[in-house]
Amino acid sequence: MQPAISELLAQMTLEEKAGLCSGADFWNTKAVGRLGVPAMMVSDGPHGLRTQKDGGSVNDSITAVCFPAGCAAAASFDPALLRREGEAIGAEARAVGVGVVLGPAVNIKRSPLCGRNFEYYSEDPCLAGELAAAYIEGVQSQGVGTSIKHFAANSQEYRRMSSSSNMSERTLREIYLPAFETAVRRAAPWTVMCSYNRINGTYASENKMLLTDILRGEWGFEGFVMSDWGAVADRVRGLEAGLELEMPGCGGVNDQKIVAAVRAGTLDEKVLDKAVARILNIVLRHADLAGAAVGAELDLPGDHALAASLAADCAVLLQNRGSLPLKQDQKVVYIGGFAAAPRYQGGGSSHVNSYKVESALDAARARGRAVEYVEGFPADRDQREETEFLRAVEAAEHADAAVIFAGLPESFESEGFDRRHMHLPDAQNNLIARVAAVQKNTVVVLHTGSPVECPWAEEVSAILCMYLGGEGVGRATDALLYGEADPCGRLPETWPLRLEDTPCYLDYPGDGRTAYYREGVFVGYRWYDARKMPVRWPFGHGLSYTGFVYKSASLSAGELTDGGSVDVTVTVRNSGARFGREVVQLYIAPPENAVPRPPKELRHFAKVALQPGEETTVTFTVTDRDLCYFDEELGDWFAEPGEYKVLLGHSSRNIPTVLPLHYTTARRRPLTVDENTPIGDLLRDDRTAPIVRSVMASFSSQMGENGGDAVSAEAGMQMMDGMPLRAMVAFGGAQAAAAMPGLLAALRGAVPPKTERT
Ligand code: BGC
């Protein structure tokens, strides 16, 4: 504790200390005027500021630049882009006096239906973690803090303030925590925001395992935890579990409970002191940095230009049968309300009062393109207007190309509720199919925060997904359509063919009290790959106007051991005629083993920019942690020894390069030895296998007589695999019964007793 903080603490009254643990209002911590402790303002986040206007109401926010939302930013697969976005938002925050930006939001996209997916990054924890760390570094480089949220397992909006996300520890550790882990370990966010929901029955705001044991104990978090707005159930329990700041405060009601608990001796005042010290540490850090930031100015025009250029790097070209890029001299018709009024951000707490919005139509007109516009359908609702519909079809028929700007109206997708289906409005689907029937160069531009079913995909020529690209999305769309920018985004989530294929289809969103995460670690591509299911577009997919080939891939060593690492090198060449960017994706495929694992998992990725004909070499360092799953019995990350594969791909389903990697380890999974231990487990463990084999050999004649010709040797071994040790007595008789105590003693001697997890 800094001396200044311990001195302050010593001077604070119990009431002042309790008071500091909740907000003064919606957006500020409390000041302690007599001791010179200032208030600190926080602000949403994540993709632009939603900072309350001076003297305005809670939802009346200042004008700020709306950057690409999480869904779009993640599609960049580019930590450098997230860092730039973070720096710009951090600079805006500094200029308006914000101490902590409430973001990034890194919850895993368990189902495409989650209403808030537009704000989140990915179905994959590696991608989400890398991007979150970069965003945090960007914001915090400006002397402004972040609040990574919503910790944890908040993957639905339905009953988000009470529903319990129930899952195995392995699922939590492998899927729902690593994005937080990477960001906390690597980028040290000033604060963490705990989520509304419960996890296996315990509110996140009271979850000691999460807020203290894992966050602080394992990952070394040193900032403070704040509640999501209104997420506190039992304040005193929360404080004890590691929740320092309650937001937005509750008129002091919970402060009084803290005071009463200390007075009654049911809450140790030291717990309160620790919480206050952690809050003071950040508040004073902000005060120091804010002093240095006096005079910092908002650069809204500059940030708008940046937002537009980032949006172009986030777009995913899903399909292109030759219509794109468009040519300047083509007669093109733009159809759909989103051409004039793009949907570029989501609804709810992340809604930015945007500086200025550029539509694709504005951009096309500003550049003198030969574009005609027919609304066709409105952007804000599902409505078919017969005249508009027919006008659109007719215009498409007589044009050289038709670009339909489709997407989800805001009422279809927002914070606060989940989607019920994955459809676009019927009016849009119908018009797309009709236009495609009369115009072979039909291009669909999508503005959605998450995947939609695309029943017309085979009928149209090209599909460009802009996600929710921020206020510059129109300018970016224009540059991409006309080939002035190269589409270089990749899907941060699988686009399934239909909702019924999704991993948690039967369990999502649960009954309101409990959501059972029965699909376990098989989320997103981990599920579709394990089930070998066709999908509309796989995770990591995205086309370019140029092409890339991988050459001379190699490993620095073919063997990896405990605590070691190997370098994976691959040369990437731009084989086309235009500048472009490729995302090299590295997946690890485990050997077949006793524990069910996804067929492959993303562990590294790198985005490279290449001129035509240019090549570059990418190097990744694969460590033993990259091979691991979380072993619940061991209570730790663990990889079985064996033959792994390093996959280098353009997407999760387009993998041109496979390198074998042999892994050896001295570590073993815990093995409990008693007479119920399956013989197969003992035979698979090199410590016990020789002992069991020699005993089996001595009984083999008798076992053979019993089995006779009815069971082949191979089938016999398979039957044996699951038999408990005591079956030896059942089938081996008196001789085996006599040998059993000695056998158990020998086996126990070979395997150290299992230590219980604490
Ligand atoms: C949201 C948070 C947000 C907070 C403040 C909550 O409802 O879940 O993400 O930061 O409100 O607006």
Indicate the pLDDT class of residue 3, thresholds 50, 70 and 90: low
How far, in Å, from the CA of 417 to the mean position of ligand 1?
Answer: 14
Q: What's the rounded mean pLDDT across residues 460-464?
A: 98
Ligand 1 centre to CA of 630 (Å) is 31
Alpha carbon nearest to ligand 1 atom 6, residue: 229
Q: Which stretches of 117-223 are assigned E, i.e. beta strand?
A: 145-151, 164-166, 191-194, 198-199, 202-203
Type of residue found at 271: V
Distant-in-sequence, close-in-space partners of 301: CB < 8 Å, separation ≥ 6: none
Most ligand 1 atoms within 8 A of CB, residue of 117, 159, 229, 417 to mutate: 229
| End-to-end alpha carbon distance in the chain | 28
Q: Report whether residue 26 contacts ligand 1, using a CB cutoff of 6 Å.
A: no
Mean pLDDT of 471-499: 98
Residue corresponding to tokens 């990889």: 639
Give the pLDDT confidence of 78-135 residue by residue, as tens digits: 999 999 999 999 999 999 999 999 999 999 999 999 999 999 999 999 999 999 999 9
Tell me the per-residue pLDDT of 386-438, one tens digit each, with 9 for 90 and over. Answer: 999 999 999 999 999 999 999 999 999 999 999 999 999 999 999 999 999 99
103 CA distance to ligand 1 centroid (A)?
A: 9
Strand partners for 199: 165, 202
Hunting for tokens 């304040």 — which residue is that? 235
3-state secondary structure of 213: helix
Index of the ligand 1 atom closest to the CA of residue 195 = 8
Which residue's C-alpha comes closest to atom 7 of ligand 1? 229
Closest CA to 593 of 618, 559, 627: 627
In angstroms, the CA 705 to CA 725 distance is 19
| Token pair of 352 as six digits | 């930015």
How close is the Cα of 195 to the center of ligand 1, in Å? 9
Ligand 1 atom closest to 119 (CA): 9
pLDDT (0 to 100) of residue 296: 83
DSSP 8-state secondary structure symbol assigned to residue 754: P
The closest-lying atom of ligand 1 relative to the alpha carbon of residue 160 is 8
DSSP letter, residue 214: I
Residue-wise DSSP of 94-145? HHHT-SEEE--B-----STT-TTGGGS--S-HHHHHHHHHHHHHHHHTTT-E
- The per-residue pLDDT for 643 is 96
Q: How high is the pLDDT of residue 710?
A: 72
Question: For residue 640, which of 617, 612, 668, 675 has the smallest C-alpha distance?
Answer: 668
- Name the residue with the closest Cα to ligand 1, atom 4: 229
- Ligand 1 in contact with 158 (CB < 6 A)? no
pLDDT of residue 132: 98
- Give the ligand 1 atom nearest the CA of 45: 10
Query: For residue 224, what are the contacts with CB-CB under 8 A and spacing of at least 6?
Result: 190, 191, 192, 244, 245, 275, 278, 279, 281, 282
Query: Atom 11, ligand 1: which residue's CA is nearest?
Result: 229
Place of tokens 């805006």: 92
Cβ–ligand 1 distance for 44 under 6 Å, the answer yes
Compute the distance from residue 155 Cα to the ligand 1 centre, in Å: 14
Cβ–ligand 1 distance for 111 under 6 Å, the answer: no
Pairwise CA distance, residues 91 & 713, whole Å: 71
Centre of ligand 1 from the C-alpha of residue 290, in Å = 24
| Residue tagged 């042999």 (tokens) | 662
Mean pLDDT computed over every residue of the chain: 95
Q: What is the mean pLDDT of residues 667-695?
A: 90
Residue 123 C-alpha to ligand 1 middle, in angstroms?
A: 21
* 149 Cβ below 6 A of ligand 1: yes
Residue 670 has pLDDT above 90, yes or no: no
Q: In angstroms, what is the span from residue 447 Cα to ligand 1's centroid?
A: 23
pLDDT attached to residue 55 = 83
Which atom, in ligand 1's list, is nearest to the CA of 102?
A: 10
CA–CA distance, 249 with 19 (Å, rounded to integer): 9
**Displacement of CA 183 from its chain's centroid (Å):** 11
* Whole-number pLDDT of residue 702: 56
- Percent of the chain scoring above 70 in pLDDT: 97
> Residues 97, 298: contact at Cβ < 8 Å?
no
pLDDT tens, position by position, 593-616: 779 999 999 999 999 999 999 999
349 Cβ below 6 A of ligand 1: yes
Q: How confident is the model at residue 669 (pLDDT cuts 50, 70, 90)?
A: confident
What is the CA angle 453-163-408, rounded to 5?
Answer: 25
The CB of 229 under 6 Å from ligand 1? The reply is yes
Query: Distance (Å, rounded) from C-alpha 752 to C-alpha 741?
Result: 17
Whole-angstrom distance, CA of residue 39 vs CA of residue 33 = 9
Ligand 1 mean position to 229 CA, how many Å? 6
* pLDDT value for 703: 54
Best residue for ligand 1 mutational test, from 151, 228, 247, 353 (most atoms within 8 Å of Cβ): 228
* Alpha carbon of 196 to ligand 1 centroid (Å): 10
Dist CA 301 CA 309 (whole Å): 13
Closest CA relative to residue 644, chosen from 588, 726, 712: 588
User: How many angstroms separate the CA atoms of 108 and 561, rounded?
Assistant: 31
**173-218 pLDDT tens trace:** 999 999 999 999 999 999 999 999 999 999 999 999 999 999 999 9
The verdict on the CB of residue 84 being under 6 Å from ligand 1 is no
Token pair for 76 = 């960049």
pLDDT at 705 over 70: no
Ligand 1 atom with least separation from CA of 105? 9
> How high is the pLDDT of residue 51?
93
Q: pLDDT-derived band of residue 516, with 50, 70 and 90 as boundaries?
A: very high
- The whole-number pLDDT of residue 758 equals 46
Which amino acid, 165? S
The reply to whether ligand 1 has any atom less than 6 angstroms from the CB of 240 is no
> If you measure from the C-alpha of residue 228 to the centroid of ligand 1, how many angstroms do you get, rounded to a whole number?
6
Q: What is the largest CA-CA distance in the chain?
A: 95
Rounded to an integer, what distance in angstroms lies between the CA atom of residue 753 and that of residue 749?
Answer: 9
Tell me the Ramachandran region of residue 42: left when phi exceeds 0, alpha when psi lies from -120 to 50, beta otherwise. beta
Q: Taking residues 266-295, what's their average pLDDT? A: 94
Pocket test for ligand 1, best of 349, 351, 353 (most atoms within 8 A of CB): 349
Percent of the chain scoring above 90 in pLDDT? 88
pLDDT above 60 (res 378): yes
Query: Among residues 753, 576, 735, which one has the least CA distance to residue 674?
Result: 753
511 CA to centre of own chain? 24
* CB 119 less than 6 A from any atom of ligand 1: no
Q: How far apart are CA 503 and CA 239, in angstroms?
A: 36
DSSP state of 339: G
**Is residue 228 in contact with ligand 1, taking CB distance under 6 Å?**
yes
Nearest by Cα to 287 from 117, 149, 135, 98? 98
Residues in the chain, total = 758
Question: Relative to the CA of 44, which ligand 1 atom is closest?
Answer: 10
Query: Which residues, in sequence order, are bridge partners of residue 102?
Result: 44
Active site residues: 228
Mean pLDDT in residue range 145-163: 97
Q: Give residue-wise pLDDT tens across range 546-561.
A: 999 999 999 999 999 9
- Report how far residue 403's alpha carbon sits from residue 386's, in angstroms, rounded to the nearest whole number: 19
Lowest mean pLDDT among 316-320, 352-356, 685-689: 685-689
Nearest to 84 by CA among 138, 131, 128: 138
**Atom 8 in ligand 1: which residue has the minimum CA distance?**
228
Q: Structural domains in the chain?
A: 21-290 (3.20.20.300), 301-530 (3.40.50.1700), 548-664 (2.60.40.10), 679-750 (no CATH)
The pTM (predicted TM-score) of the whole model is 0.96
Pocket probe for ligand 1: among 27, 102, 352, the residue whose CB has the most ligand atoms within 8 Å is 102
Q: How many Å apart are CA 693 and CA 670, to the nearest integer?
A: 20
150 Cα nearest atom in ligand 1: 9
Q: Whose CA is nearest to atom 3 of ligand 1?
A: 349
CA of 248 to the centre of ligand 1 (A): 10
| 3-state secondary structure at position 589 | strand
Nearest CA to ligand 1 atom 9: 349
**Which residue, 64, 65, 49, 73, is CA-closest to 469?**
73
From 44, 89, 351, 415, give the residue whose CB has the most ligand 1 atoms within 8 Å, as the site to mutate.
44
Residue 756: pLDDT over 60: no
- The answer to whether the CB of 76 is under 6 A from ligand 1 is no
Q: CB of 262 within 8 A of CB of 14?
A: yes
> From the CB of 102, is ligand 1 less than 6 Å away?
yes
How large is the average pLDDT for residues 299-314? Answer: 98
Instruction: Name the residue with tokens 């003693």.
Output: 745
Rounded to an integer, what distance in angstroms lies between the CA atom of residue 128 and that of residue 74? 7
Residue nearest to atom 12 of ligand 1 (CA): 349
Residue 471 alpha carbon to ligand 1 centre in Å: 21
Which pLDDT score is estimated for 7? 96
Q: What residues contact residue 425 under an 8 Å CB cut-off, 6+ apart?
A: 377, 381, 382, 383, 408, 409, 412
What distance in Å separates the CA atoms of residue 313 and residue 68, rounded to the nearest whole number?
Answer: 10
User: Residues 675-691: what's their mean pLDDT?
Assistant: 92
